[in-house]
């Protein structure tokens, strides 16, 4: 009996682990696939030099310094890494997308100060050394399962030197819930000869965005699933990790196109 129960239990455990692995793989592969040409096209109006300067000013206000080792993870096309490096930081930029990194590297040609770009998964940040500042900017947090997301926060904190600062620019779950209270947010745009339809909805703790792109190339449907936390959850998690100062700031001037739900979480190790 015991043995039967044990083997059923083991089989069930193996089955559920397999299912978990499949779901986790699916989560990350859909997320990565989302950052394709349609993604960058749909954000062309947002990711301007003005927006990058605006973001940079906020980062500098939060850090209160322009020197030291800084990790920008994920760094995307390096719009912040390059600027931070020119200001005096020694910057490591990590992203898993080789196309985004190629753009980032191309943009720093001829610069005297160079960002060290690394093609790597966010879940494998070990071995990069320690930092005075770690930034995760522009809704770049929450791509994984809850346990992996929490492990990533822990890694970010562990990479900080004493008194190092962690900045996470993300969306507040409770405010997003209010914004999406009356249903999904739908948006249509035409960019680069393509019609892009975006639909965002909150499913449990995750912001699910479905994007359909039609015309000028293959028709594509892509989905993004990002786990969100509330301001009080961020504070609790970071305090639990031993951070001494934890503040959550609503952005003074919500950036173009995004809802007022944008927050910047600041924590000092
Ligand atoms: C919203 S973009 C933001 C990039 C940058 N922080 C900025 O402010 O422009 C998110 C980036 O996360 C990267 N990404 C997604 N999953 C990743 C993973 N598992 N490991 C590393 N980078 C990842 C994507 O390639 C994309 O460049």
Sequence-distant (≥ 6) Cβ neighbours of residue 24 within 8 angstroms: 144, 145, 148
- At 66, the pLDDT band (50, 70, 90 cuts) reads confident
- pLDDT of res. 45: 82
CB 132 within 8 A of CB 165: yes
CB 85 within 8 A of CB 105: no
- Give the pLDDT mean for 151-172: 97
Bridge partners, 222 (sequence order) = 211
Cα(137) to ligand 1 centroid in Å equals 9
- pLDDT of res. 11: 39
CB 172 within 8 A of CB 147: no
- At 143, the pLDDT band (50, 70, 90 cuts) reads very high
- Give the pLDDT mean for 158-179: 94
Atom of ligand 1 nearest to the CA of 100: 27
- At 243, the pLDDT band (50, 70, 90 cuts) reads very high
CB of 227 closer than 6 A to ligand 1? no
- pLDDT of res. 260: 73
Is the predicted pLDDT of residue 256 greater than 60, yes or no? no
- pLDDT of res. 72: 98
- Give the pLDDT mean for 199-222: 92
Most ligand 1 atoms within 8 A of CB, residue of 72, 120, 140, 152 to mutate: 140
CB of 139 closer than 6 A to ligand 1? yes
CB of 75 closer than 6 A to ligand 1? yes
Atom of ligand 1 nearest to the CA of 73: 6
Domains in the chain with CATH codes:
6-27+44-171+229-268 (3.40.50.150)
């Amino acid at each position: 009996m015991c043995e039967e129960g044990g083997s059923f239990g083991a089989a069930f455990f193996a089955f559920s682990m397999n299912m978990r692995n499949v779901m986790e793989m699916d989560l990350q592969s859909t997320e990565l696939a989302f950052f394709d040409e349609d993604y960058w096209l749909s954000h062309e109006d947002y990711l301007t030099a003005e927006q990058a300067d605006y973001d940079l000013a906020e980062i500098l206000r939060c850090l209160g310094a322009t020197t030291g080792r800084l990790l920008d993870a994920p760094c995307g096309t390096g719009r912040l890494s390059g600027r931070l490096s020119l200001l005096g930081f020694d910057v490591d930029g990590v992203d898993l997308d080789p196309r985004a990194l190629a753009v980032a590297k191309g943009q720093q040609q001829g610069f005297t100060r160079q960002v060290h770009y690394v093609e790597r998964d966010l879940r494998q940040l070990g071995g990069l050394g320690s930092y005075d500042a770690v930034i995760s900017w522009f809704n770049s947090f929450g791509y994984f399962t809850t346990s992996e997301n929490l492990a990533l926060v822990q890694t970010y904190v562990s990479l900080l030197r004493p008194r190092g600062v962690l900045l996470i620019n993300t969306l507040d779950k409770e405010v997003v819930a209010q914004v999406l209270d009356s249903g999904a947010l739908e948006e249509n745009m035409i960019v680069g000869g393509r019609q892009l339809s975006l639909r965002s909805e909150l499913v449990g703790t995750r912001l699910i965005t479905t994007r359909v792109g039609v015309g000028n190339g293959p028709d594509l449907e892509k989905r993004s699933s990002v786990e969100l936390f509330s301001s009080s959850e961020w504070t609790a998690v970071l305090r639990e990790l031993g951070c001494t100062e934890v503040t959550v700031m609503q952005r003074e001037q919500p950036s173009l196109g995004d809802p007022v739900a944008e927050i910047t979480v600041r924590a000092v190790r």
